[in-house]
Structures are given as structure tokens and as C-alpha cells.
């Protein structure tokens, strides 16, 4: 029997993302009070789902409070849970087991996820109006701008770990401009899976045009110098489900100190030390800061790449901040497709918890807390800190 749970959500101004998590909770039936046990088991399951989703709570009452009636569970939530369904209910002696499926919003102020760096895949940018690049023949700016952003992130980012920079163009702009949402999701998930990345960054250079006003008309002996615009839109997607987690447009301008017919090497130090190049550097620094702020509390999920008895190997290591003694919960990926053909990310929370015993740069070995054999855990399942 399926119980639908309704929530009053207090909307916050922080960027959020939601995903479905399935978890099981149990409770002992005391004094024949099945309803109280059912309520407790449901709260236990929801607390487990909240923890693996990245919520930082000391007790489930901070997020959920309510009473289970005959047909529904009325709950008040504070911005963490969008909706919940009870999908299964079983009795074993005097114990009740409840399986729930919750749509959980990750809030970005309290989180464990900030302890770890996220693997970020950068892809080549796209100049949307290539005719604007004619002056200076700066057609290579789509590649160089991402290389510079990669350098900024490597040197200054606290939460992003550059996994790879793709030098060839993708079909992102084609799908993005065509509003083909499912194809875009498929592209993101394919790239993330191919490169073992948590998040994928795309960008579009929207404006490289010139202002029409001459800046030094009174200096008749010099060549005319104009202000040149720069506008770029940044998109960051979750590689697990293909959903957009951050989007922002940046716009600035600076003096173009070159003759109209001069071909410019946009990879040279001379260009990046010019007024226009310094403006680009400042813009990219703002991009890096915003990326950090927006991925800080997003989940850092490690994929299981080997299973043996009670031991697993995950593709997170010291480079991402994993340390010996860190504990993880294990999840089964359970993506599903709605009636409109849209794919959504889902996770089934397993009963297993593991502790890290060995760490290398890119991987970590972990064992179950009670030496239990990992019976149904498979390669490509997920490890997430709770």
C-alpha cells in the first residue's frame, strides 16, 4: 500500500537541486502500537535518506515533525524534502520495516560535502557569433579561455578538482539552443561517465563586439582604439543525472589596444597582459569563485570500481580530500524515466556502511564497519559520505 506524504516547504534563497532517494527504516512495535512504530520507522528511513543526500542534521526532528494517521503522514519540512512516498511496508515478528522514496533538496549552508573536492570536467567553449572574432582573428579564444579558467581553478579553487579539459567541441550549444533537454542530459552523463567526473562545465561566448565610439579621437596621430565587449555564459551540470546546477552570464569590456588588421595570438603572454586580457582574467576569477560557491555543498559521489568480500575500491582519493577513517554509505543508482521520456536520478540507500583504510591520490579502499560481506554491492554503485 502506498501512502502519499504532503509537505509544507519553506523556500530559501539558496540555490538548490533535488533528487530521489530510496531508504528503509525499522522500528520495534511496543505496547501493540503499530501506528507509532510505523511513524518511527518512517522517520528513521527519512533521516537515512537525508544524511546520504548531504543534509547535516543531528536528529530527524530538525527536519520532520508530525504524526502518522490511518491513511497519511502529515509532515512539516524546512526546505529539505519536497515529497515522500511509502513504497513498501513489511512486518517481521514485532518489528516493522518501512521503505520510503523521497525527493530531497540539497541545501547549501550545512553540509559534509564541502570536505571533499569535486571532479570537474571542462569542455571547449563555443563562440556564438564567429564573425565578431574577425578583428584580431581571435578564433582560438574558445579554447584558450577554458585553458585559462582551468589554470585559475587549479591554483585557487577550494572545492573543484579539474579532472580533464576537453579540447574538441561538443554538441552542447546545438542541444542548448534547440531546447532538446533529454539529449543534453544524455551528453552530460556520457561525458561524466567517460571521464569519471562529478560535474561538467560548458560555456558559450556570447559577445566579442566593439563599441562604436572612438576613445582617443583627439589624438589624431594614433590609430583609433575602441572598447571591445566580452560576454560569456557558464553552465555546470551534475554528471550523475544531467541536471543543471549552476548558470550565470558574465559581461565586461576593455580597451582593444591593437590595430584592426593585426592578427592576435590569444595564447601569448603579451595578449593576456593587455587591457583586454587582464579584463578576461578578472572575469575568469569571478567565474572560479562562483563555481566554488555553488558546488561547495553539492554531493561528492565516488563510484565503486572494485568489490571483494567486505572491501571496496572507490574512485575518490587524497586529491579530493578523502582521509583514512572517513565513513561512507553505499547507494545503488536507480535512475528512472517519466511518461514524457525525461530521465531523473534516483538512489536506493543500502544498509552497508564502510570505513576508509587506505588512500592514494585518486582512489580509496574501504571495509564494512562490522566486516559484513557486501552481498549485493556492485561495480558502478555509489559511495557517499553521510
Q: In the prediction, which pLDDT does 176 show?
A: 83
Considering its fold, how many domains does the chain have in total? 3
Q: Are residues 147 and 263 in the same domain?
A: yes
Q: Are residues 73 and 21 in the same domain?
A: yes
What is the extent of the structural domain holding 268? 114-295
Q: In the prediction, which pLDDT does 283 show?
A: 94
Residue 350 to residue 358: CA distance in whole angstroms: 22
Q: Are residues 161 and 24 in the same domain?
A: no
Q: Are residues 264 and 349 in the same domain?
A: no
Q: Are residues 289 and 323 in the same domain?
A: no
Q: Are residues 136 and 83 in the same domain?
A: no
Please give the grid coordinates belonging to residue 75.
509532515
Q: Which one of 106, 133, 165 terminates a domain?
A: 106
Q: Are residues 175 and 270 in the same domain?
A: yes
Average pLDDT, the chain: 80
Average the pLDDT over 242-249 and give the result. 92
Residue 217 to residue 59: CA distance in whole angstroms: 69
Q: Would the pLDDT of 204 be above 90?
A: yes
Query: Do residues 112 and 322 lie in contact, with contact meaning Cβ atoms separated by under 8 Å?
Result: no
CATH number at residue 52: 3.30.1660.40
Region at 16 (left for phi over 0; alpha for psi -120 to 50; beta for the rest): beta
pLDDT digits (tens, 9 = 90+) for 343-379: 666 788 888 899 999 999 999 999 999 888 988 888 9
SS3 for 357?
strand
Q: Would the pLDDT of 159 be above 70?
A: yes
Phi, psi torsion values for 86, nearest 5 degrees: -90, 115
Element (H, E) at 356: strand 346-359
Among positive and negative, which fits the CA dihedral 9, 70, 46, 67? positive
* Radius of gyration in angstroms for the set of CA atoms belonging to the chain, rounded to a whole number: 25
Question: Is the pLDDT higher at 30 or at 144?
Answer: 144
Q: How confident is the model at residue 231 (pLDDT cuts 50, 70, 90)?
A: very high
CATH number at residue 221: 3.40.50.10610
Q: Would the pLDDT of 67 be above 50?
A: no
Q: Are residues 157 and 79 in the same domain?
A: no
Q: In the prediction, which pLDDT does 20 show?
A: 78
Q: How confident is the model at residue 212 (pLDDT cuts 50, 70, 90)?
A: low
Q: Are residues 179 and 314 in the same domain?
A: no
CATH number at residue 368: 2.40.10.410
Q: Are residues 266 and 123 in the same domain?
A: yes
Q: Are residues 211 and 69 in the same domain?
A: no
Phi, psi torsion values for 133, nearest 5 degrees: -90, 0
Q: Which one of 106, 125, 157 terminates a domain?
A: 106
pLDDT digits (tens, 9 = 90+) for 95-141: 899 998 887 765 544 466 667 889 999 999 999 999 999 999 999 99
Q: Are residues 76 and 102 in the same domain?
A: yes
SS3 for 44?
helix
Q: Which one of 246, 277, 295 terminates a domain?
A: 295
Among positive and negative, which fits the CA dihedral 267, 269, 273, 275? negative
Pairing of β 346-359 and β 382-385: unpaired
Average the pLDDT over 180-186 and give the result. 84
Q: In the prediction, which pLDDT does 375 show?
A: 82
Its pTM stands at 0.67
Query: Do residues 231 and 259 lie in contact, with contact meaning Cβ atoms separated by under 8 Å?
Result: no
Amino acid at each position: 500500500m502506498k501512502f502519499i506524504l504532503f509537505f509544507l516547504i519553506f523556500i530559501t534563497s539558496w540555490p538548490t537541486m533535488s533528487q530521489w532517494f530510496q531508504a528503509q527504516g525499522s522500528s520495534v512495535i511496543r505496547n501493540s502500537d503499530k501506528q507509532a512504530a510505523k511513524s518511527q520507522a518512517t522517520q528513521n528511513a527519512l533521516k537515512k535518506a537525508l544524511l546520504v543526500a548531504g543534509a547535516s542534521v543531528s536528529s530527524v526532528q530538525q527536519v520532520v515533525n508530525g504524526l502518522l494517521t490511518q491513511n497519511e503522514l502529515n509532515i512539516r519540512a524546512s526546505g529539505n524534502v519536497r515529497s515522500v512516498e511509502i513504497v513498501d511496508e513489511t512486518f517481521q515478528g514485532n518489528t516493522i520495516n518501512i521503505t520510503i522514496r523521497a525527493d530531497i533538496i540539497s541545501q547549501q549552508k550545512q553540509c559534509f560535502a564541502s570536505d571533499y573536492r569535486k571532479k570537474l570536467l571542462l569542455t571547449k567553449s563555443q563562440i556564438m557569433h564567429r564573425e565578431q572574432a574577425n578583428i584580431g582573428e581571435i578564433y582560438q579564444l574558445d579554447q584558450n579561455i577554458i585553458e585559462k579558467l582551468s589554470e585559475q581553478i587549479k591554483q585557487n579553487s577550494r572545492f573543484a578538482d579539474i579532472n580533464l579539459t576537453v579540447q574538441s567541441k561538443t554538441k552542447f550549444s546545438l542541444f542548448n539552443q534547440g531546447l532538446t533537454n533529454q539529449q543534453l542530459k544524455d551528453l552530460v552523463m556520457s561525458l561524466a561517465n567517460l571521464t569519471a567526473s562529478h560535474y561538467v562545465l560548458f560555456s558559450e561566448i556570447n559577445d566579442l563586439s566593439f563599441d562604436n565610439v572612438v576613445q582617443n579621437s583627439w589624438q589624431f596621430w594614433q590609430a583609433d582604439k575602441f572598447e571591445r565587449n566580452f560576454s560569456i555564459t557558464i553552465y555546470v551540470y551534475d554528471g550523475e543525472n544531467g541536471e543543471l546546477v549552476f548558470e550565470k552570464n558574465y559581461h565586461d569590456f576593455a580597451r582593444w589596444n591593437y590595430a584592426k588588421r593585426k592578427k592576435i595570438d590569444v595564447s601569448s603572454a603579451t595578449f593576456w597582459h593587455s587591457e583586454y586580457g587582464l579584463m578576461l582574467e578578472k572575469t575568469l576569477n569571478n567565474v572560479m569563485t562562483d563555481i566554488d560557491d555553488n558546488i561547495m555543498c553539492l554531493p561528492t559521489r565516488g563510484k565503486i570500481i572494485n568489490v571483494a568480500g567486505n572491501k571496496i575500491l572507490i574512485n575518490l582519493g587524497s586529491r579530493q580530500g578523502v582521509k583514512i577513517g572517513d565513513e561512507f554509505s553505499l547507494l545503488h543508482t536507480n535512475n528512472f524515466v517519466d511518461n514524457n521520456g525525461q530521465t531523473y536520478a534516483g538512489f536506493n540507500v543500502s544498509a552497508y556502511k564502510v570505513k576508509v583504510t587506505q588512500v592514494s591520490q585518486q582512489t580509496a579502499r574501504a571495509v564494512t564497519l562490522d566486516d559484513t560481506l557486501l552481498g549485493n554491492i556492485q561495480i558502478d554503485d555509489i559511495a557517499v559520505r553521510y
